[in-house]
Copies of this chain bind each other. A is one copy, B any other.
């Protein structure tokens, strides 16, 4: 329908970051459109020619924010629309996207087809869903809502929702941990080893969302991680590996939108996890992927049965999308290494790479196990030989040299980071043995202390599972950079230290772990 110029509103950018939800701001006394009429249905369509977005509506009563003849858009919505301030835009009622009908069908127990997942995921990637609509989808997907064929459909739809890299090599390897274990920075040891061995390993990582550090956050202590694709490509060709932030490429963009709702809701279903990880890796051009599933009482996966089910799902969907997927189930009973938080984890990683005497043994061992399995993706390596190859590369200093080369190639960090100046030690309330360390509690304390935003914030562990402790001996030290964060973290640690001390050391787990 053609629309006359005077039936449009003046576009205005409102400097509010609404965190992956498009929000439009309309004055209550808008000359042209009555805000209340639009508000109950919640969503409007904003357009100018071919430029069109959907946005949730907020009604404004202050002309300094938006005038009655203006339409304001939040940062993301403004960027999505792609017009300049002052452009003339028309608005219209926006029914929920058509694909929401499929979400409702799913909620009623239906099995959806590939085409339906494609449509849902396309709409989500294009920011056509409101957060409540995304929440409905996330819930529909969670908890046994999808059979494994549907997980495959969803994964493929997510791969298709964005760009896909092609490294033009037959073997492109990657490793990925499903998360949940603080300090688990194995990638920063595995990638240098595997790249030094010669396999192409273009590792891109996320920044932490709800954890105290992602690999990108920790690597950033040493090097630039926010690199344009062209440069990343050159680095990977030259060094056979990289450790960069994955946010610059538009890989499986629907995943980022889904995550922005899943994380605050703390709804993490196997289907969503598998689709999220495999779609990102497939889109990033990997051909071979090693998945690490830590298992333990405060890990994401809490029993061996659950770990096995998840493993089968990874294997099934990996096969279907043409990504060779191997799964390792590892010991997830406690944090890995001593440090939690970017700087503190980085110290652990460097000690392992430098073969320092006080390097954390668990980080070294786990990294070697994983690197060995990745190296065995090479058809020329005999099964079982990977570990020894990885150990040779690490012990000889070639892994450290490769790490140095990668840091140089990505651009050495110009700032120097140190552990946070504000420190407090949490001590043992009694003597005995460390019987349990709660991953969730430790992650939360480190996060409140300021990690990952403040590189030096976090926690340094002095005692690990099975260690004997005397009453009053320090269990760990909190590091923070800001007083308010320091107070938050200490407050939480006082309520729940995360440590359990018992008369006996804990038994070994019932199963063999990598």
Contact = CB atoms under 8 A, between A and B. Distances in A.
B107 A267 contact: yes
B266 A16 contact: no
5 contacts: A107-B267, A132-B135, A132-B265, A133-B135, A136-B267
Interface stretch (A61-69, A285-293, A337-345): A61-69
Contact of A59 (B16, B25, B65): B16
A471 interface: no
Contact of A143 (B37, B107, B487): B107
B65 A18 contact: no
B60 A264 contact: no
Contacts of A138: 136
Given A14-B62, A37-B450, 17 more contacts: A15-B65, A16-B60, A19-B39, A34-B454, A37-B453, A41-B264, A42-B263, A58-B74, A93-B488, A107-B142, A107-B267, A130-B264, A132-B132, A132-B135, A132-B264, A136-B138, A139-B139
A43 B132 contact: no
A468 B92 CA distance: 35
Interface in A3-48: 7, 14-19, 25, 28, 32-34, 36-37, 39-43
Contacts of A16: 25, 58-62, 65
A210 B41 contact: yes
Interface in A39-85: 39-43, 57-62, 64-65, 74-75
Given A109-B143, A140-B139, A266-B104, A7 B132 contact: no
A34 B450 contact: yes
A233 B267 CA distance: 46
A134 interface: yes
B7 A484 contact: yes
B265 A136 contact: yes
Number of copies: 2
Contact of A135 (B61, B136, B143): B136
Contacts of A39: 17, 19
Size class of the A contact interface (CB-based, 8 Å):
35 or more
A15 B39 CA distance: 15
A157 interface: no
A10 to B, nearest CB: 16
Contacts of A140: 139
Q: Which 5 A-B pairs have the closest CB atoms?
A: A15-B62, A135-B135, A42-B264, A15-B61, A132-B135
A309 interface: no
Nearest to A142: B107
A138 B104 CA distance: 12
Contact of A261 (B59, B60, B132): B132
B266 A15 contact: no
B34 A104 contact: no
Nearest to A28: B17
Given A41-B210, A264-B42, A107 B17 contact: no
A261 to B, nearest CB: 5
B15 A264 contact: no
Nearest to A454: B34
Contacts of A454: 34
Nearest to A132: B135
Nearest to A92: B488
Given A59-B19, A453-B36, A139 B135 contact: yes
A100 interface: yes
Interface in A205-220: 208-210
A21 to B, nearest CB: 9
Contacts of A64: 64
